[in-house]
Structure 1
Amino acid sequence: MVKGKTSSETSESTVRVLKSLFPPFLPELFKMMITPIGGGKAASVLVAKVTAFSCQWLMGPCSVNSVDLPDGSTINSGVFVERCKYLEESKCVGICTNTCKQPTQTFFKDCMGVQLTMEPNFIDYSCQFKFGVPPVQTVEDKLLMEPCLSICPNANRRRERGVSTDVEHCPQV
């Protein structure tokens, strides 16, 4: 993002990285064989368990929890990240949104066939993953209008250069 890439270029790069973490056949096989079971509920629960188990090195302590699905049912397809190390270290709404939230939601939907809504909390640095819940359309996503965090290094650099940081949303988003 610092090198002048657009938010969509950054997001696309991250999706490519996520794809590279798996053998090429695995996401497509998962999408064909697991996702259809139980209308996607089995896949959502499985992905939540694997995410909570395998991603703590990146995100920090997390646990599986229950979420309400659009059909009114409740299943254990959520992952609650207590304090996301990635968000805490980046200190930036734009980095969280463009290199984590948007591309991760896209990866799971397009490559694994699992809907995902991610809800980062920019106050306590927690994040709620809701597998099986479709993400909010980009134009309706309130997170894209979040202001810069007071500790954001990019906002601090803009202040040092005399560029106004009193914007209604993070300019990195």
Structure 2
Amino acid sequence: MAVLIQVLLPPPTTIVFSNSFSTKLILTRRLRCRISNSSEVKSDEGAPKLEYKPGPLDDFFMQSFRNKLVEEVGSDSEKPGYVGLIELVKLLLLKGRTRSETSDAAVRILKSLFPPLILELYKLLIAPIAQGKLAALMVARVTVLTCQWLMGPSKVNIIDLPNGESWDSGVFVEKCQYLEESKCVGVCINTCKLPTQTFFKDYMGVPLVMEPNFKDYSCQFKFGVAPPEDDGNVNEPCFETCSIAGRRKLKSGECPLA
């Protein structure tokens, strides 16, 4: 993917890892990515606010994702662009008879977007390095570089790990347009949060917990952190405006349990 990345190195200290293939992976302790198609602007209150400008690869990413959704759902939406994409996601949720079925289908879609060999090599060669730190830092940056068309403005940030360490392997989504457009907690939980966590852990060897905020639509990704056994987000009630609950003739609070 021809994406422009400018890496700043403050401080210039580096850690060098060697593997059996005699290659060198250089990890800068505090990597900061400057992304050519995202920037910060000042809001009315004076606080920095992220702004995302679609790049030339965004249409490709969206169409690829949409094609995989069509294959899984079995039909396409007549609506163009992002609106049509969200309609397909809702159909995916409606198609699944259980939460597990929906999550498994979403994982299949994520897997199909990557050549299998890349996932296997990443899990085998990159994930074990430095107790998983390198892999977590890398996927955080790739997520920001390739997924803002889906989620909206986002940036890499520092997160705290359960062992007391702090890694800059987080991704903060200021206002997730996937959730905002779908207006459905069930869509967020069953087609995004749960399958994405499963995909990164099982197929890339990177633990991930996603913490959506259903009040302001923000979301915090924490690469390198495993989900808690009792994840309260999973059983959040849905919005009053949830269209899927209406189509299934359910109460709004039942939608996430699809």
Alignment of structure 1 residues 156-167 onto 2, 5 Å: 156-157=246-247, 165=251, 167=253
Q: CA deviation at 1:156?
A: 4.1
CA distance in 2, matches of 1:4, 1:52: 29
CA distance in 1, matches of 2:149, 2:157: 19
Q: TM-score, normalised by structure 2?
A: 0.61
Evaluate the alpha carbon distance shift between residue 171 and residue 58 of structure 1 in structure 2; reply closer, same or farther with a 3 A threshold: closer
CA contact (8 A) 1:145 1:170 kept: no
CA distance in 1, matches of 2:174, 2:162: 24
CA distance in 1, matches of 2:215, 2:128: 37
CA contact (8 A) 1:48 1:64 kept: yes
Percent same amino acid among aligned pairs? 61
Q: CA deviation at 1:155?
A: 3.4
Aligned match of 1:71: 163
Q: TM-score, normalised by structure 1?
A: 0.90
Aligned match of 2:66: none
Cα deviations across residues 143-172 of structure 1 (Å, max 9, x unaligned)? Answer: 1221121221123446xx5x5x274x5454
Unaligned runs of 5+ in 1: none
- What is the RMSD of the two structures over their aligned residues, measured on CA atoms? 1.6
Question: Where has structure 1 moved over 2 Å in runs of 4 or more?
Answer: 154-158, 169-173
1:51 aligns with 2:143: yes
Alignment of structure 1 residues 85-104 onto 2, 5 Å: 85-104=177-196
Alignment of structure 1 residues 1-173 onto 2, 5 Å: 1-137=93-229, 140-157=230-247, 165=251, 167=253, 170-173=255-258
CA distance in 2, matches of 1:78, 1:124: 18
Structure with a larger share of its residues in strand = 2
CA distance in 2, matches of 1:14, 1:166: 23
CA distance in 2, matches of 1:46, 1:32: 15
CA distance in 2, matches of 1:64, 1:123: 22
What amino acid maps onto 2:183 in structure 1?
K
CA distance in 2, matches of 1:68, 1:81: 17
Greater relative CO (CA pairs within 8 A, separation 6+) = 1
